[in-house]
A = this chain, B = another copy of it.
């Protein structure tokens, strides 16, 4: 992995506090071999999938229980030292970087599925359980957990960043699918934020305050999420279009008609070309929609016909349908391999990924103008999108050793975000703010709303030890 040159304006608050030797000694004494200060371990916990760099945390505690987390946080609190929760490290916006120093609490060993309540369509897991592990664990019940952000992320991390992904258009995001959490607060206390009831009006919605708080308000130590019956029938389809606009207009109409489509993903012609080169798929090198329908056999057929009709009106061609799991996997290969195919298309490059999300009717306006800008910039890029939700990702492929290219990429991102906000959208549909979107957040939410976030943070974490320096500056 090439370490990019750090750009201080992208890591606004590198202000590492000293981690006292006495804390390290206390952690060693409490956790023994489960507390590591080895450089390789610390470095592995001091980065994520973003291109940011910062000095690594001073130690990594491998927690094996809620009590471990609570004890680690209490010790850190005693020494006013930052604590950064770590799942599997797949976050994208610098969430895991120790910009103010401190220790990392790795919860990946807390990976037990605690209770499968199939009869209630819920499951309770420890935060280190990954989404694939979760789905494997519930498979025999005929249920599944639909949230699929691409990476095999941990459920704790997905909760912390309010993740979503390809199935969100039908099943919602972590916001809609987390029922309850157990959380270790900044003082090391353990609280529960909800019950297994499907709905509740019992006081402040602490569950949803924690979901998306990126570790800045507490460490998630248990998650109860909703499950769904595996659809009786699943049908996947790909369809090529004469232009991105045609693919996008098809999507808009599908959503506006209320078709219960389970997935609708855009891949632009550039990216199809990269995927063809990478995976020898032989796809038409045109903009493409990948779709999936869930339901009864008759229902799926009906949805698919409606969508095919709409697509045809916009010039959609080369429909390919798949109903068996094997065929579906083949169709989805293009989407699943897009990121890696893109990265490999330019050896040594790093991707800067955008994440805007706009109301569905604004999708064409937001996307098409940004495509023009990206094309004009000369920077190679890939473009994929959860377009049914109005959410898409440009990945600008830049030479990490060329500050000029990074500047161009950041400029494109800025323009895209400004456009999305003007169209009543958000700077981040699913990746979170982390380090990268702190300025965008102020523009989007306004000073007053960010001040309110800050006030909540200050009240719940008076020593500012929970993943400090993320989402907003204090």
Contact = CB atoms under 8 A, between A and B. Distances in A.
A200 B359 contact: no
A471 interface: yes
Given A195-B424, A196-B359, A429 B460 contact: no
B428 A201 contact: yes
A449 B360 contact: no
A257 B195 CA distance: 22
A370 interface: no
Interface in A410-431: 421, 424-431
Contacts of A192: 445-446, 449
A368 interface: no
Interface string A187-210: 001111111111111111110110
Contacts of A204: 209, 212-213, 217, 452-453, 456, 471
A191 B428 contact: no
Interface-centre pick from A175, A196, A199, A431 (highest chain B CB count, 10 A): A199
Interface residues of A, number: 90
A458 interface: yes
A283 interface: no
A197 B164 contact: no
A122 B452 contact: no
Nearest to A358: B197
A429 B228 contact: no
Contacts of A421: 195
B452 A202 contact: no
A175 B202 contact: no
A318 B391 CA distance: 48
Contacts of A424: 195-197
Nearest to A363: B120
A69 B437 CA distance: 32
Nearest to A259: B229
Contacts of A322: none
A250 B69 CA distance: 43
A444 interface: yes
Contact of A471 (B117, B203, B456): B203
B359 A430 contact: no
Contact of A459 (B172, B432, B437, B458): B458
A321 to B, nearest CB: 19
A209 B208 contact: yes
B211 A205 contact: yes
A54 B353 CA distance: 57
26 contacts: A119-B361, A120-B359, A121-B360, A164-B199, A175-B199, A191-B448, A195-B425, A197-B357, A197-B359, A197-B424, A198-B390, A199-B429, A199-B430, A203-B212, A203-B449, A203-B450, A204-B217, A204-B452, A204-B453, A204-B471, A206-B449, A209-B209, A229-B256, A299-B299, A455-B459, A455-B460
Interface of A: 117, 119-122, 161-164, 168, 172-173, 175-176, 185, 189-206, 208-209, 211-213, 217, 228-229, 252, 255-258, 295-296, 298-299, 302, 355, 357-362, 389-391, 421, 424-433, 437, 440-441, 444-446, 448-450, 452-453, 455-456, 458-460, 471-472
